[in-house]
Structure 1
Amino acid sequence: MTLKFAQNKTNATPIHVVESDGLSNFVEGLSGSARNWVASQEFRAGLGHFVIVPNADGGIDSVIAGYGNETVRKRGRFHLATVAAVLPEGKYKLETFPASFDLETELLGWLLSGYSFDRYKTRPAHKASIVAPANCDAAKLEAIAAGEALTRDLINTPTSDMGPPQLQEAFETLAAQHGAETVVRVGQDLLDQNFPMIHTVGRASAQEPRLLEMRWGSKGPKLTLVGKGVCFDTGGLNIKPGASMGLMKKDMGGSAAVLGLAHMIMSLGLPIQLRVLVPAVENAIDGSAFRPQDVLTSRKGLTVEINNTDAEGRLVLADALALADEEETDLIVSMATLTGAARVAVGPDLAPYYVDAQSDASALEEAATTVADPVWRMPFHDPYEAMIEPSIADLDNAPKGGFAGSITAALFLRRFVTENARYMHFDIYGWQPKSAPARPVGGVGQGTRALLEALPKLLDL
């Protein structure tokens, strides 16, 4: 699998992208035989449809790809990827396209249409490659595609091959690729260095819990990414039913997302000081598993009453966020597959996020629209703070009642980022439940491309 552009345009087959209401004018400019051929195919330039125009020798003269109309396009994204996935083997180039054509998003979709998870099963290779037009940032698109592929691969890999040790290996491999420095705290180190909640959540597993830290860059504003790395979540003693446990290999999707984003940032050489923190654990069950009604003391010193051992992600993130907050940082971003409540609120396609500053929200949402990476702002609703305050501890990890589950989780996390930075939190799903253009069923990045695009405004680059 390679998600790169073709190196040169020699002998590349031209592709003409045509909107449905512009088809008649386009066809008028074709030769008589080409017009007759298009008419015989009953081509209407519908979104994702295409027609191959033959040459006199029986080869391919050109491809006409339908772009539908604006109303239909709003119902999806990466529309050219539908065509890219089924074109005959060969090299192609964009020859003409309408003003409405979202060039870089569609080119990224073409690259991502070549993604497949083939670790355990051989899959047909992507046959069609495309030449990068002169007016696109090819290096950026390739870096984004590679980062997204990393995220998908990490999520798609089952826990038998992606437990805390293997996540550490992937973390260190990425760091070595970009010359970043790492620090890893494992098992007893977590207790010795005051990360008690990370240790507590992961101590029942045969695979020791750990906190992974990466630093890259020596100049510019400081960005810290914190990703939830729960490699499998049984629910602990509040064990999940089988149906709810079925996709828990993806519960480390937050860590996969921040590692994909980190790859994009480092590949592009952005002028920032990047720090990545991943608490990597498995929420398992044995005699040492933490229990409902336990009270834990966090790194920050806040006490937490455990009212559901299945609300473990916020516990490991809390210790990591407390560490992030101990030094001056311009922006801290956490990403986690944290709550089912977020899925109920916005479904699997939107990435819900929380931030206090309106300027940060505006920068992110403008970027999300630009790169077709949809996000949706949720509120840090201060009146709900009382919901996370139990009677016998500072915080409750699972407030009773079931209301506002994603909001109360975000408020819980914000309690650990109070000193030195702006804070943004993403409660992502990290999974594509139904195949879509450039997004097969399986792991998927969410919010990362929007964040990458927004960084110049968020960090005054």
Structure 2
Amino acid sequence: MTSILAEPGASALPLHLVEEGGLPGLAGSLTDSQSAWAAATGFTGAPGQVCVLPGEDGRPAGALFGMGTAAKRRRGRFHVARAAASLPEGDWTIATPLSASEAEEAALGWYLSAYRFTRYKADGVQKARLVLPAGVEADRVAAIAAGEYLTRDLINTPASDMGPEELETAFLALAAEFGAKAKVIRGDDLLEGNFPMIHAVGRASSRAPRLLELRWGTEGPRLSLVGKGVCFDTGGLDIKPASSMGLMKKDLGGAATVMGLARMIMALGLKVQLRVLVPAVENAVSGNAMRPQDILKSRKGLTVEINNTDAEGRLVLADALALADEERPDLLVSMATLTGAARVAVGPDLAPFYCDDDAVAQSLFAAGRSVSDPLWRMPFWDGYEPLIEPGIADLDNAPSGGMAGSITAALFLRRFVTETPRYVHFDIYGWQPTAAPGRPKGGVGQGARALLAALPEVLKP
């Protein structure tokens, strides 16, 4: 991971964060010539504006960064991260007082803005280094950033180099790094292990399906994370058009996000008993692909009528959730790039989640706001339960009509969690469609930092 922090005690240039229209208030912090220079360059404190202040020797003596108004800042996040790419090389320190949450967001945003996906093409590095603001824990910020980097790398890697086997390799490397126990069930062994739906979704691919499992920690509450690892989704026999298939390398976004979160948890040494389950498959087309109107039997014993082979993510998650549910963890979380309906409802920037426990849901929502990882609660609406009951089988994987698609998918998953009182499902997008502060275009984690921040409250005895 790129080093973007300056050494403690380094001689650093001051970075002044300026409210829009707030330049006159800095008169006591700038020399007369610097104030005149800022005014001459047209600096107003507008969002993202940068004014490098010259010193007497012609070298930079500091910089001003426009923070805009409070109303404008509510439209985005990681505002200070915009300065990182615009400042000249050197060590910088934020000269403006910040609250604890503002300081941590500034440091994390600086880290996240330095992310580059360089597996196939070299890219420029961020040269401005930040002296960590007072009160911010360097190890914590670095651990969170490293987890997010892992998530982004996994999503950004094309399916040619990130199939089920390669996802397994990354999963095992993560386990080895932190001394976690790992287990893998592959191919036809899934049938012997009673994971029929994971097998059914992945059997048509030349790359065998598998279930990945990681266990770490021997103390504290039990936390189970389940992530959808569909490494590429053609749609199966209900094949996607090219326009819908273009971003399907990101269909492992749920797996990538729980792996990134697991990395944060292990790096920070949280007192939890962590279990991570990732069903890793490729939804492909061949002679043995599952067909529309096939009926599959799940690990839970429930039968599922396949009315759209492109609604495969909930099938692989169902078997993995059933396994996780058998242990009755204190908190069970699933994450998946599951439905287009969620994007229609809330767009790409919000991560919708489902939870029947009001206290857990409120903790998650509040944590998301506090760490700039926005979430939005959606309803497990019991009135839609009949929509997922086809009559010929226990469940329908793709109810007709197209209404409430994200909700019916969440209700489908909830049918496989019957023993665990606290269950949360995230229907994430996992992709940043346009570059934003701290979030370059491409793969992105959603919900992981909010979960991390909420865990002490959610899992307290």
TM over 0.5, shorter chain: yes
Aligned letter for 1:224? S
Q: Is the 8 A contact 1:296 1:303 kept in 2?
A: yes
Q: Which residue of 2 aligns with 1:143?
A: 143
Secondary structure of 1:319's aligned partner = helix
Q: Is the 8 A contact 2:224 2:329 kept in 1?
A: yes
Q: Which residue of 2 aligns with 1:287?
A: 287
State the shift of 1:3 in Å: 4.9
Secondary structure of 1:86's aligned partner = coil
Aligned letter for 1:334? S
Separation (CA, whole Å) in 2 of partners of 1:98 and 1:7: 20
Q: Which residue of 1 aligns with 2:171?
A: 171
Which aligned pairs between 1:60-75 and structure 2 lie closer than 5 A? 60-75=60-75
Secondary structure of 2:236's aligned partner = coil
Structure 1: runs of 5 or more not aligned: none
Which aligned pairs between 1:29-108 and structure 2 lie closer than 5 A? 29-97=29-97, 102-108=102-108
Q: Is the 8 A contact 2:100 2:135 kept in 1?
A: no
Q: Is the 8 A contact 1:17 1:98 kept in 2?
A: no
State the shift of 1:57 in Å: 1.0
Q: Which residue of 1 aligns with 2:191?
A: 191
Q: Which residue of 2 aligns with 1:416?
A: 416
Separation (CA, whole Å) in 1 of partners of 2:453 and 2:170: 25
Q: Is the 8 A contact 1:53 1:64 kept in 2?
A: yes
- Asked if 1:388 is matched to 2:368, the reply is no
Q: Is the 8 A contact 1:144 1:264 kept in 2?
A: yes
Select between 307-316 and 52-61 the one with higher mean Cα deviation.
52-61
Q: Which residue of 1 aligns with 2:126?
A: 126
State the shift of 1:142 in Å: 0.9
State the shift of 1:99 in Å: 6.0
State the shift of 1:81 in Å: 1.1
Aligned letter for 1:137? E
Q: Is the 8 A contact 1:4 1:142 kept in 2?
A: no
Q: Which residue of 2 aligns with 1:454?
A: 454
Separation (CA, whole Å) in 2 of partners of 1:151 and 1:449: 12
Aligned letter for 1:255? A
Separation (CA, whole Å) in 2 of partners of 1:172 and 1:90: 38
Aligned letter for 1:51? C
Q: Is the 8 A contact 1:154 1:162 kept in 2?
A: yes
Separation (CA, whole Å) in 2 of partners of 1:46 and 1:141: 28
Q: Which residue of 2 aligns with 1:361?
A: 361
Distance 1:281 1:43, change over 3 A: same
State the shift of 1:421 in Å: 3.8
Separation (CA, whole Å) in 1 of partners of 2:416 and 2:4: 41
Q: Which residue of 1 aligns with 2:267?
A: 267
Q: Which residue of 1 aligns with 2:407?
A: 407
Select between 287-296 and 74-83 the one with higher mean Cα deviation.
74-83
Select between 9-18 and 425-434 the one with higher mean Cα deviation.
9-18
Separation (CA, whole Å) in 1 of partners of 2:428 and 2:3: 24
Structure 2: runs of 5 or more not aligned: none
Separation (CA, whole Å) in 2 of partners of 1:226 and 1:154: 16
Separation (CA, whole Å) in 2 of partners of 1:62 and 1:27: 14
Secondary structure of 1:179's aligned partner = coil
Which aligned pairs between 1:273-352 and structure 2 lie closer than 5 A? 273-352=273-352
TM-score by length of 2: 0.98
Separation (CA, whole Å) in 1 of partners of 2:382 and 2:279: 27
State the shift of 1:27 in Å: 2.5
Aligned letter for 2:199? H
State the shift of 1:141 in Å: 1.0
Secondary structure of 1:225's aligned partner = strand
Identity of aligned residues (%): 63
* Per-residue Cα deviation, 1:129-182 (whole angstroms, up to 9, x for no partner): 111122112211111111101000000000000000000000000011111000
State the shift of 1:101 in Å: 8.1
Select between 91-100 and 140-149 the one with higher mean Cα deviation.
91-100
Q: Which residue of 1 aligns with 2:397?
A: 397
Separation (CA, whole Å) in 2 of partners of 1:420 and 1:399: 26
State the shift of 1:93 in Å: 1.1
User: Could you list the runs of 4 or more consecutive aligned residues of structure 1 that deviate by over 3 angstroms after TM superposition?
Assistant: 97-101
- Asked if 1:246 is matched to 2:246, the reply is yes
Select between 80-89 and 222-231 the one with higher mean Cα deviation.
80-89
Select between 395-404 and 35-44 the one with higher mean Cα deviation.
35-44
* Per-residue Cα deviation, 1:371-396 (whole angstroms, up to 9, x for no partner): 01111100000011110001110000
Distance 1:142 1:98, change over 3 A: closer
